[in-house]
Amino acid sequence: PLVLGIESSCDETGVGIVRGTEMLANAVASSVDLHVRFGGVVPEVASRAHLEAMVPTLEQAYAQAGVRVEDVDAIAVTCGPGLTGALLVGVAAAKALAIAHDKPLYGVNHLVGHVAVDQLEHGRLDERVGALLVSGGHTEILLVDDIATDVTMLGTTIDDAAGEAFDKVARLLGLPYPGGPHIDREAQRGSTTAIPFPRALTKDRDLQRHRYDFSFSGLKSAVARHVQHEQRMGREVAVADVAASFQDAVCDVLSAKAIEACRANDVDTLVVGGGVAANGRLRALVEERASAAGLTVRVPRPGLCTDNGAMIAALGAEVVRRGLPPSSLDLPADSSMPVTQIVAA
Ligand code: ATP
Ligand code: MG
Ligand code: FE
């Protein structure tokens, strides 16, 4: 099916067009520059930026694909999770297009989109796979029996998301927002073993209750204490070493638990998705450990890991292919849509 996908859950306005697993267009406008001086996304600013960017981004996608909205089989839109005001802009645009052109509308889950996008690079996900979803607001290990109908959550973070930890630690180190790419770059010049940062929820007593769960707030505090200590001693903070050691602590736990979850659930493919999947150290560590464990790893190229419309179109195409019923034209935005709910009623 030919599907148009609209994304507006955070600070990227994205419109993608796919035919099955083939990507025809992926237009993205980001308002990140407007948020930099606040050190994080300001919801009202993001909503207004979506309003301004929506029509130009749609037009850019039509031009890239050489497709008109009249031609598509369906319209998919992120209806959650995310910032309510931001989500509403995409949902309203999608409803307007669906009504004006008499197309079925599908409200889909942003997080499942982060996994589905890999199909545009590596082909259909047709067997049961494990997934590590690591983004700005979420950190989850998933069992994906069917990308359009059956996703189970095996574990999640009990406090901060992985991307949030990157952003907070970057701030402590005086690096700009969003911090993930800056830490990734700084870490290349640093030592992963310079500072022994903690790996939370990896001890036997924690594993009983939290085998596939994560915790990153203690790690963030450990970095803060290290930075304060260095300052008190009158020493300059070794930014590259702190970045490398912090990044290694995060990626060590993420990769180890995701691979263990795959083995325990008898799946032999692991998909990694979400903004933090763009991280160089995470990609390398997952590859290395998965190959040692005999698992296949699928990670989309970095440009498809962060928010975009093609990921929503990719998931929409799978939903259409299954013949699932469209969502209601009264479709609400659901800021806390659970990852197990793939399509809205
Ligand atoms: P969610 O998907 O949970 O709603 P989001 O959409 O805001 O959150 P994404 O766009 O998927 O999140 O990812 C953004 C996050 O990814 C930010 O926290 C950012 O710092 C992080 N990130 C991006 N590139 C990298 C990188 N190379 N290394 C580490 N983190 C990165
Ligand atoms: Mg973003
Ligand atoms: Fe996202």
The span from the CA of 46 to the CA of 51, in Å, is 9
According to the model, what pLDDT value does residue 56 have? 98
Q: Is 180 annotated as a binding residue?
A: yes
Nearest CA to ligand 1 atom 5: 136
The span from the CA of 170 to the CA of 262, in Å, is 31
Nearest CA to ligand 1 atom 30: 180
For residue 232, which amino acid is it? Answer: R
Pocket test residue of 12, 79, 166, 282 for ligand 1, highest count of atoms within 8 A of CB: 166
According to the model, what pLDDT value does residue 310 have? 98
Pocket test residue of 7, 153, 276 for ligand 1, highest count of atoms within 8 A of CB: 276
The span from the CA of 326 to the CA of 40, in Å, is 35
User: Which pLDDT band, with edges at 50, 70 and 90, does 114 fall under?
Assistant: very high
Angle subtended by helix axes 180-187 and 239-264, to nearest 10:
110
pLDDT tens per residue across span 160-196: 999 999 999 999 999 999 999 999 999 999 999 999 9
| Two tokens, residue 125 | 């996900």
According to the model, what pLDDT value does residue 217 have? 97
C-alpha dihedral sign at 50, 310, 312, 300: negative
According to the model, what pLDDT value does residue 133 have? 98
The span from the CA of 302 to the CA of 163, in Å, is 14
What is this structure's pTM?
0.97
- Position 126 pLDDT exceeds 90: no
| Two tokens, residue 344 | 């809205």
Cis before 178 (ω within 30): yes
Ligand 1 atom closest to 81 (CA)? 4
- Cα-based distances in Å from 126 to 123, 139, 153, 274: 9, 23, 19, 20
According to the model, what pLDDT value does residue 311 have? 98
Ligand 1 pocket at CB < 6 A: 9-10, 82, 110, 135-138, 163, 166-167, 178-181, 184, 274-276, 278-279, 306-307
Name the strands in the sheet holding 139-146, side by side, starting at the edge strand that comes first in the sequence.
150-156, 139-146, 129-134, 269-273, 296-298
| Neighbouring residues of the ion ligand 2, judged by CB less than 5 Å | 10-12
| Two tokens, residue 155 | 């574990």
Name the strands in the sheet holding 105-109, side by side, starting at the edge strand that comes first in the sequence.
22-30, 12-19, 2-7, 74-80, 105-109
- Position 105 pLDDT exceeds 90: yes
C-alpha dihedral sign at 273, 278, 282, 288: positive
| Neighbouring residues of the ion ligand 3, judged by CB less than 5 Å | 135, 307
Mean pLDDT of 141-149: 98
Q: How buried is residue 318: exposed, middle or buried, by Cβ count under 10 Å (0-12/13-18/19+)?
A: buried
The H or E element spanning position 133 is strand 129-134
Average pLDDT over the chain reads: 97
